[in-house]
Structure 1
C-alpha cells in the first residue's frame, strides 16, 4: 500500500486513495444522502410526462402507447441502487475477512458508529436498508477503511459517475418543456416554460435552441415524415410542440367527417366494463384510428381561421 493514488490523479499517498480523492468520495456520498437522489429519481420516474416517448427521442412515432413513467429515470434509479449496494457488499466482505467479527454492540444496533469496524462489517453484510441514501451513509461511515482498499479508486470512479448521471436526471425542472432538437448533436433540448432559449444538456455539447423556432422546426420535421398518431398521442405531441389541441377535439373532427384516419392501431385491451356507443363499436372492430400529423395541423388551422372570422 502506498505510492500514487489509484484514481490516476497522480498524487502521492500512503493509502490507495489520496486525501484529495478521499474528499471527493466524501462529497459524492454526502450528495446522495443530502439530495436524497434515490427518492428524487423515483419521483422523476413517475412524474407526469409532458411528452410522449416518440417526441422525447425526436424520431418517428411507434405503435406503442406512451408510458406513465419515465423509463430513463426508472432505469437510472435501479442502476444507482445496484451500484451502491454492490460496493457495500464488497467493502463489508473485505472487512469481514480482515477482522474477527463478533456481535453488533448495543450502540450500533441501528447504524454503525465511526470507528466500529466490526459492527460496520456485520451490518454491511446484512445489506443496510436497500435504498441509495442508507447505502451511501454506510459507505461514508467507512471512508477511512475504504481508502486502504486496492479497489478504492474503482469504487470512487463508479460512484462518482452514477451520482453525476442521477443528479443530471433530477436537475430538470418539472415545468420544463421541449425546446426542440439540438443543432449540434440532434438530441432533445429542454428548458423552462417561460424561457426563450434552451441549452443542450448532453455532455460535451453546448448547442442552443430558440424555443419558438426549435419547436416549429421539429413539428415540421415529423409532419414531413408522415407521422401518424392516435388522438391521445397527437394531442400530447402537438400541445407539447406549441400547437395545442385536445383529444376530444380530434375525436369530434373525426366523428363529423372532417378527418379521415390514415391507419388503425390495435384496440386497447381492458377488463373494465364501459358503456358501448357507436364509436366504441367501430373501435372494437377496426381498432383505434391514427391520423397523419399534417392532416391534424391543417384541420386545426382551418378551425382557428373559422373562429377568427366568425
Structure 2
C-alpha cells in the first residue's frame, strides 16, 4: 500500500497521467488512470489535458501513444520493456522488400522504422479486413509469423510471407493442451488469438483479436472459457467478470515484458521523469496517417 499511495501522490504533484496495457499486473492496474490496447491508450491520452504521460507496458504501447501525441512527453518506466518483435525485423530487409514493389502490412508491435516503411499498420483485430481489401497477391505480414500463418489460412489464394518473430506467451501453446483442457472442462469454449500457432487455432472454437477478447467474454452468453492468452489478462477477466469461469490454456503463459515494471520502477519514473520516448514528429505523423488510413480501409467492406 505504501508504494501505491506514493505513486498516487507523485502523479498528482507531478501532473502525470498513468496508462497501462490491458494485461498489466493487478497492482499496476490499480494505479492506472486507464488501461487498454495501444490505440485505446493513444486516443485516451489525446483527450486528456496532461503534458506528461507514463505508459506502463511494452515499449510499442508507448510508441503508439507517442505517435498520436507527438507534442506530449511520453515516459516508460524501464527501457528494457521492449517486445522482442519490436526489434526483430532488420530495416534493410524491409527496405529491400519495399524496393521490389511488395505490400507490407505491419502489426502495432513493429518498430518505428519498420512502421514508417509499411503500407498498412493494423492491430490483429483488423488484419483480416485489411488483407481482404488488398488486391496484391503477395503480402508481407510483419513481424509475427503466427499471425501471418493465420492470415494465410484465411486467404489461400494469396501468398502471405513473414519473418521468424513471434509472441512468446502466445507461441507456447501446443495442440495437446487444447485436448487436455477440453477433456477437463467439458463445454467450455476454447478462445485463442491470431498470435497462436495455426495447429492450435485449428483446434480452437474461436479466434479473437486481442483487443476484442475482453469484449467478447463480457458479452457472450457462454459461461465457461478456456483462454489461450497471457495469464495476467485471464486473471483480470476473472476479477472483472466474476460470473464467468475462465481457465488458462497453459498456466505459465506469462509475458516477461508486460510484467517487468515494478511499483518501485514507476516511483522512480515519476520522480526522475524517465525514460522518455523520442520519435521525430514527421515520422510520428506519417505513421499515424498510415494507421488511420488502415483502420478506415478495413471498414470499407
**Range of TM-score over shorter length:** under 0.3
For the pair shown, which has the larger CA radius of gyration, 1 or 2?
1
Which of 1 and 2 has higher RCO (CA within 8 Å, sep 6+)?
A: 2
Structure with greater strand share of residues? 2
